[in-house]
Amino acid sequence: MCGIVAYLGDKEAQPLLLEGLRRLEYRGYDSSGMAVLNGKGLEVVKKVGRIQQLERALSGQPLHGTLGICHTRWATHGKATEINAHPHTDASGKLAIVHNGVIENYGTLKKKLSDKGFQFRTETDTEVLAFLIGFYFDTLNSETENRLEMAVMEALREVTGTYGLVAIHEDQPGVMVGARRGSPLVLGIGPHEHFLASDVSAVAAHTQTVAHLRDFDVVTIDRNGYRLKSLSQNQAGLEISQIEYQSGVAEMGDFPHFMLKEIFEQPVSIQNAVRGRLNLEESTAQLGGLNLNPQELREIDRIVITACGTALHAGMVGEYIIESLAHVPVEIEYASEFRLRNSPMDRRTLVIAVSQSGETEDTLGALREARRKGHRVLGICNNVASTLARETDGGVYMYAGPEVSVAATKSFTSQTIIFVLLGLLLGRMRFLSASQGRGIIEAIEALPDQITQVLKQSSHIRDIAKKYSHSHSMLFFGRQMQYGIALEGALKMKEISYIHAEGHPTAELKHGIIALVDEKTPSVFLCPKDGAYDKNINNLQQIKARKGPVIAVATEGNEEIVQHADDVIFIPEAPEYTAPILSVVALQLFAYHMAVILGKDVDKPRNLAKSVTVP
């Protein structure tokens, strides 16, 4: 989490830094700050709250200079206060750093520096790192040419933990140093100017030439260009790539919130996820990026899907899809648990790591643990240049486009449709007939129009949300492929409306959950016409018998459900493996409208940030 932007060039830094910071605010909005070298010294401005607070402060106190760093914070160590905001300075006040990550041994380092007489001002691990770099800077000869670079490298050799950082010092006013371990940092290369940022989106409007730093890389930028070194034994080297920037892609347009825009983009994002991947002639899917030949795919005996949050819920839906279509055993693992446990897996087990950003720390840890044990690992992500994409053996890109709102929507449905493609590919290699494969392809191709039909019910769903906006708690129920959707629907509700919500398998109702049912607690039942429909109705009636309000998500044309539920959201008729995508779109709209009605900040929910790059 947290967002970093740094600039060195021949233009005024402040407007460029603010523009980049706005594009990264989804990474954290507890506080923000900026430091600029103005030719006379270092100037720092920090404010608690959203970036608008910093902008207001800078409008009355502009920072002039062509070298600067800035940061938007999601608090880890220390409260969200002005003094804890970044940038942090060293004891001399001449050095400033911005940092994303966690310094795990900051307590030990703080004691070491305290014993040398240093007095700290904040509760943060980043200030300790600033003091440590400043300490090494001051021990070096003032004539040392690469003084800041050497100080950063010397300090980082003592650090245990993760970091994406940029440092500047007023005694070297034409230099900035960036470093990365476990937290993304991208170098933007332009004519007579360079950027460092946590995400390409912060610099894409100004340069399309970028390079993603690898773990242990240290880059030093001056007026003449940049040079790269490494803290590891690996030889340093950057892979330069070109990115495509489309003005307005990450803008809201006519929508009031990014979340609503991204919900309505799902017909297109689904098309993008499947484009070029359906082989009509052979009635199968084609996923060349897997880097597995047909024989290797047939030899897979077991799949383990590992992810966090929304991506984990997509994996849970994917578990049922792949087992149903391909008859390959699938297990789901929280990435945070997988990376720590000693899970027995034979050599024919395939691990699939799922992450929208490709930078989720726990998911990367699970990926590395699987590879350490010799397993082939595939990735599903939305970022072609991410760490996950670089470290997996192959995978599938989502092509969902930028997702700015913290609450994931289109990334979830893109991940889910990719699991349908995987199920189709593996199923056709095992037992699915050509006619069955064609039927699956037809269902996939029908999805964009079916999603559009669900989106047309937005006003109806808003009316339902208004009816239940007084609720303090909600229950979500689903079976089989809809169980993961129940979990995701509950997650969306609590993420943006702050209403307590739980997702459960429908059949677990009588195993304790029914004790929560009362006339003030609505239950959302996912009950399309599938193999579990009659059982779902039975459980729904048990809720009604206890005066619990029921909202049903059901298949169009089902008149029976109207007699049982208080309110109904209809979705088009679809097979079991694509119906979850239609159900979740309805629940995304339900959560969105609930949050708007309650006056919540939909795109920037409290305590949350988009990309969890610290464990």
Bin 327: left if φ > 0, else alpha if -120 < ψ < 50, else beta.
left
Choose, from 46, 529, 600, 610, the residue flagged as catalytic.
610
CA distances from 330 to 93, 212, 240, 321, 439 (A): 55, 33, 37, 10, 23
- Kindly report the number of other CB atoms within 10 A of residue 239's CB atom: 10
CA 501 to chain centre: 21
Rounded distance, CA 166 to CA 409, Å? 32
Closest alpha carbon to 317 in 330, 326, 328: 330
Residue 78's H or E segment, with its range, is none
Q: Strand 278-279 and strand 284-285: pairing?
A: antiparallel
Number of DSSP helices (H) and strands (E) in the chain, helices first: 19, 26
115: Cβ contacts below 8 Å, ≥ 6 apart = none
SS (H, E, C) 248-261: CCCCCCCCCCHHHH
d(CA 588, CA 378): 28
Q: What share of the chain is helix, strand, coil (3-state, %, to 5)?
A: 40, 25, 40
In terms of Cβ atoms closer than 10 Å to its own Cβ (0-12, 13-18, 19+), residue 518 is exposed
Written as six digits, the tokens of 615 are 């464990």
Instruction: Find out whether 33 and 86 touch, Cβ atoms under 8 Å.
Output: yes
For every residue of 425-448, DSSP letters joined together read: HHHHTTT--HHHHHHHHHHHHHHH
Main-chain dihedrals φ then ψ at residue 400, nearest 5 degrees: -85, -10
User: What is the distance between the alpha carbons of residues 508 and 473, in angstroms, rounded to a whole number?
Assistant: 18
Q: CA 481 → CA 203, 316, 337, 506, 575, distances in Å?
A: 40, 8, 23, 12, 11
Give CA separation, 81 vs 129, 162, 613, in Å: 19, 22, 21
511 Cβ contact list (under 8 Å, min separation 6)? none
In angstroms, the CA 577 to CA 409 distance is 18
**610 among known catalytic residues:** yes
Catalytic status, residue 381: no
Name beta bridge partners: 100. Answer: 164
36 within 8 A of 14, measured Cβ to Cβ = yes
Active-site residue, from 2, 70, 381, 527 = 2
Alpha-carbon gap, residue 99 to 561, rounded angstroms: 54
The answer for residues whose C-beta is within 8 angstroms of residue 146's C-beta and 6 or more apart is 220
Q: How far apart are CA 164 and CA 613, in angstroms?
A: 10
Other C-beta atoms lying within 10 Å of the C-beta of residue 237: 10
**Active site amino acids:** 2, 610
